[in-house]
Amino acid sequence: MKTRYMFLSLLCYATATTAQVRLDTCGVQHAKDSTDVFYRHLQLNEVMVTGVTGDTKLKHSTAPISVVTGKELRQTTSTNIIDAVAKEPGMAQVTTGGGISKPIIRGLGYNRIVVMNEGVRQEGQQWGDEHGIEVDGNGVGSVEILKGPASLMYGSDAMAGVLILHRAPSPLDGEIRANLSTEYQTNNGLFAYSVNGAGNHGGFVWDARFSDKMAHAYKNKYDGYVPGSQFRERAGRMMLGLEKQWGHSYLTWTAYHLTPSIVEGERDEETGELVRSEEFGVKSYHKTLPFQQVKHYKAVWDNSLNLKRGWLKATVGYQQNRRQEFEESADEYELFFKLHTVTYDVRYLTHEFDGWKVAAGVNGMWQRSRNLGEESLIPEYRLFDIGGYGTVSKTLDRWTLNGGVRYDHRHMDFHSRDFGGVTGSVGAVWNATDHLNVRLNLARGFRAPNMSELGSDGVHEGTVRYELGNPHLKAEYSWQADLGVDFTSRYVSAQVALFANRIDNYIFSKRIDEVMEEGYRTYEYTQGDARLLGFEVGVDVHPIHSLHFGNTFSLVDARQLNQPKDTRYLPFTPAPRWTSELKYELTHHGRVLNNAYVAAGLECFLRQNHYYCQDDTETATPSYTLVNLSAGTDLLIGGKKVAELYVTAENLFNRAYQSHLSRLKYTDINAATGRMGVYNMGRNVVLKVVVPLVFEL
């Protein structure tokens, strides 16, 4: 188990705007940059997270969180940043093709999760199944996964939780850092590289990065190569800033371009083989029709002012998302969504006084979406929302108590709809001993329906279906209770996290029998009351300094209340999952190879029998197990680290499987075998090299 379970109160849900996780084992910033599990467990309670009420020890928090360090991200095989964290307990992903992943937290996703990047919420039309997260994973220094309603700090859309993508910390004063990384994957021929340079001169800091990635079609045992699963990704980032005693000010620009082809899953009626492009081969990196062209641009001004009794923080950001869809010609687009978003966040945080911390703030966003293509899936719209909140925390010996309240108002010009809601949280943590902590949290969540749910009407090529919105949908409201217990010692670390979530007016799409356009299934949005129950359990045993055996189990049971069997279960609920890893560290202080390790792991997904079966909206998914092997080391020359080397073999036995959350599961039936849909990627061997350089000014 790479990531230990930890818990963070809702007071820490504002970490995204200014926070940097400071981990002694994170990246190349520290001498003890080790995969040494023993060392990391001893440091568990020293991890600090900068939250809305200032620095908070994780042992003083109340709601669940997982932290993924930069080192762990580099050791993980993935095609995008969501793929890199989807194996964490309680996490899953909706996949479409080779390069698109959407996060799921405890059975909830889409507009129920807020992704924070560069200090602002990522807005890239995340309502779409095949609309991924437009973020360069190479620029992410660490990730926090906040589980449970976070509407207190973020307002609408944070009902399931928050995914916070932190940048790497700035270099020390007088230091310049450079970094070159490259990667190759055998299954889809993925080749990627990223170049980064950062420096600090007297508090003037800068950071620049360029990344490039391309992949041809992936393959599996049943389908062979899957036409339309190739993609190309390019990204750039530039940050200039000041870090002084009075605070900091950062100005950041990012650009992200993704060109994914679209997997349609069409098959030859006689042979059952997937229909392939006649112009390009399946191992070509060239895009083929149909395909999308996604461009995302972002500018963020992030400021923090140190005052006598606290901090004043202000962040404003502008984003433009351009999504084009090409179906018949590579020169003419049919769909063109252009989304403008302005986000703002102003808050004040007090220093701790007599065990108290207080914070208050205002945040929200303005959006405008335009349709510039011949076709339109959703109507054009304007949106404005604003929310204000206040929080308080009190530390009493071994107890920490916290709570807060917020009000939100959102206006959409589509049918002149207005949504508002009061949300809040209250929680407590009891540090029973230095090794045992007990946590309890109760939170109220709120989410307004998005434009796709309200007004979609057309063919959604990326999901191979016709979608119908419902303009009469109401806002979702939830109550979630979390209970957690974690224990850490020299040889064992164990965590249990239980949750119960009741959602009124839960919105979902279901298949209907009506045919709106030939060749496409028709889905419409509806809603009902729902409840989700589940838990995550983790046990990590390290009986000796170099041996590590970790196991996790995650389960979500998601049901619609007062419904018959065929509509009882909510659609696209992740299957129960067990993960296990046995890791042995070969060296800790070698002269040439340092922090070397070998590991064997497995992911076992149990059969998913709880599915929404009315009108064949979903089908059951059989169980499957994937076996993985990995190894890595730091390469030293003259006592200095000159490179990090990693090799991973995923799905070692080339198991053919379909994830329950894969949208490609419901494409055409193979007439020769009777199997429906396209299968996930087969065996994949990954080679990765990271070269860090440090200079003094």
pLDDT, averaged per 10 consecutive residues of the chain (697 residues), comes to 38 35 35 38 44 58 83 88 90 82 91 92 86 91 87 84 91 94 96 96 97 96 93 97 96 96 89 83 88 96 95 96 91 92 95 91 96 90 95 92 94 94 93 93 94 90 82 95 93 94 94 84 93 96 90 96 91 95 88 93 96 88 97 93 96 96 90 93 96 87
pLDDT of amino acid 241: 97
In this structure, what DSSP letter does residue 287 have? -
- Paired with 594 in beta bridges are 634
pLDDT of amino acid 441: 94
Q: What burial class does residue 416 get, using C-beta atoms within 10 Å of its C-beta: 0-12 exposed, 13-18 middle, 19+ buried? A: exposed
Strands (E), 278-398: 291-306, 310-326, 335-350, 356-371, 381-396
Six token digits for residue 104: 């799921």
Please report the domains of the chain, with CATH numbers, ordered by start residue: 5-696 (2.40.170.20)
pLDDT of amino acid 29: 36
Residues 423 and 407: their CA atoms lie apart, in Å, by 6
Residues 156 and 444: their CA atoms lie apart, in Å, by 11
* Rounded (5°) CA angle 620-621-625: 160
Residues 551 and 202: their CA atoms lie apart, in Å, by 46
The verdict on whether omega for the bond into residue 471 sits within 30 degrees of 0, i.e. cis, is no
Q: 3-state DSSP call for residue 222?
A: coil
Six token digits for residue 3: 């990531």
pLDDT of amino acid 3: 41
pLDDT of amino acid 49: 53
pLDDT of amino acid 78: 87
Residues 365 and 356: their CA atoms lie apart, in Å, by 30
* Cα 97 from chain centre: 17
| Cα dist from 452 to 29, 215, 325, 460, 473, whole Å | 43, 30, 17, 11, 11
- Paired with 367 in beta bridges are 341, 383
Residues 578 and 553: their CA atoms lie apart, in Å, by 4
Residues 414 and 24: their CA atoms lie apart, in Å, by 49
**pTM of the entire structure?**
0.90
- Paired with 696 in beta bridges are 175
In contact, 122 and 109? CB cutoff 8 Å: no
In this structure, what DSSP letter does residue 665 have? G
